[in-house]
Structure 1
């Protein structure tokens, strides 16, 4: 059987039990925290082996005792940025559980938007990442979905969450600034998207009697899209149960 990459051995605690030599100067989690700090402050481009080493107060060469390349650094960052998945209540229905899972995933991406810049080169294999996958799959316990159907449904929700996060990843993050930007965009769009030229767009600018999306527009949009995705999964469940 092919040996696990060294970074995965460390994340799973395998290498720590068998690696000879002097006691490590720091732990793989220290590297993760340093790299995440850099990324949270300056984006993914701010992360390099030399800068992470400097953040830890060590030389770049010493970092190579723990990670072989920048891709390994990304694995470590993802593992610790997301942490463990949310505790899902098995007493609730599948829809409530996968919604809680999706919202926690969304919150993780919002807290660390640079995650979306990391290329997805292979399925997750680190402990926390597999725990997230397992939690998403177990949300469908009690449904007639096959194991493969559950995987596909979980991936569909995953793709939706990543997609919506990607759309807003480059927007301003300060609440007041976002409110001002939204208001300015609406004003300009109202000027340009006149009903005679763009009737569909103009209709979205009309405030319905109930006030429409009062409060958190972004949350309302996310909820609408997620509900639509889950409606599709429910339709599949209904066909299997009929």
Structure 2
């Protein structure tokens, strides 16, 4: 495949566009566009991002932006590439479970820093440098296991889907520790009042357990770890069957 067949935004991200491009020297770099768009999204959500607003943030006209990105979808590609950055370094002394846990937690942290990422529609598999590096890192986490290449891809996607799902569930909750703790406290009190044993016995039983055994009021931490462990238990079962 010829490099020219790649979309222009990918050519720029991979550094293969504009090597012999005629005309004046570019006024800014594709990374400048990314930083401006991310700044707008972090402040006002994805709805605050438009070609005109990004151009204004850079101090240029909207038309000048079209020399770099053809449409808003291209702008999203650039934003995702720079919002996540490079994947975490997976320590070789960790087993596969430890490595994919580090990967999943780093992915979760990226979504926490930029929750607007969850609003970007996933229309095609990733092709930008950092996005492919994340994919490669997730696959590498399963080195040393009997999983086939396709199994590793499926396992990595399963973890990816789990992380995105939990992040989506908590995306609109307050992120400040004190405020989040207050929300948890109020929710627990109200749930205890409403979920009576005669009407909601399963919920009530959970609330009646000691804090270290039942609902601890910290979904974002406790439930994420529980769910991830359960997902990894399933992958371990598949590994055990292949080993057997």
TM range (shorter): over 0.9
8 Å contact from structure 2 (residues 185, 217) kept in 1: no
What is the SS of the residue equivalent to 2:208?
coil
Q: 1:67 and 2:69 equivalent?
A: yes
Q: 1:197 and 2:195 equivalent?
A: no
Q: 1:127 and 2:137 equivalent?
A: no
Cα 1:24/1:133, change in 2 over 3 Å? same
Per-residue CA distance 1:190-216 (angstroms, 9 max, x = gap): 111001100111112124274656695
8 Å contact from structure 2 (residues 188, 217) kept in 1: no
8 Å contact from structure 1 (residues 32, 80) kept in 2: yes
Looking at structure 2, the residues matched to 213 and 99 of structure 1 have their Cα atoms a distance apart, in angstroms, of 23
Q: 1:167 and 2:169 equivalent?
A: yes
8 Å contact from structure 2 (residues 184, 218) kept in 1: no
Q: 1:237 and 2:228 equivalent?
A: no
Per-residue CA distance 1:62-97 (angstroms, 9 max, x = gap): 000000000000000000000000000122110000
Structure 1 vs Structure 2 CA RMSD: 1.4
What residue is the counterpart of 1:86 in the other structure?
A: 88
8 Å contact from structure 2 (residues 208, 214) kept in 1: no
Say which of 30, 33, 49 aligns to 2:32. Answer: 30
What residue is the counterpart of 2:154 in the other structure?
A: 152
8 Å contact from structure 1 (residues 40, 114) kept in 2: yes
What residue is the counterpart of 1:138 in the other structure?
A: 140
Per-residue CA distance 1:132-160 (angstroms, 9 max, x = gap): 00000001011000000000000000000
8 Å contact from structure 1 (residues 90, 139) kept in 2: no
8 Å contact from structure 1 (residues 85, 132) kept in 2: yes
8 Å contact from structure 1 (residues 86, 104) kept in 2: yes
What residue is the counterpart of 1:113 in the other structure?
A: 115
Aligned residue runs from structure 1 range 38-53, under 5 A: 38-53=40-55
TM-score, length of structure 2 as denominator length: 0.96
Looking at structure 1, the residues matched to 57 and 211 of structure 2 have their Cα atoms a distance apart, in angstroms, of 54
Segments of 5+ residues of structure 2 without an aligned counterpart are none
Q: 1:97 and 2:67 equivalent?
A: no
TM-score, length of structure 1 as denominator length: 0.96
Cα 1:73/1:210, change in 2 over 3 Å? closer
Looking at structure 1, the residues matched to 165 and 46 of structure 2 have their Cα atoms a distance apart, in angstroms, of 18
- Worse-matched range after superposition: 61-70 or 205-214: 205-214
Looking at structure 2, the residues matched to 221 and 182 of structure 1 have their Cα atoms a distance apart, in angstroms, of 13
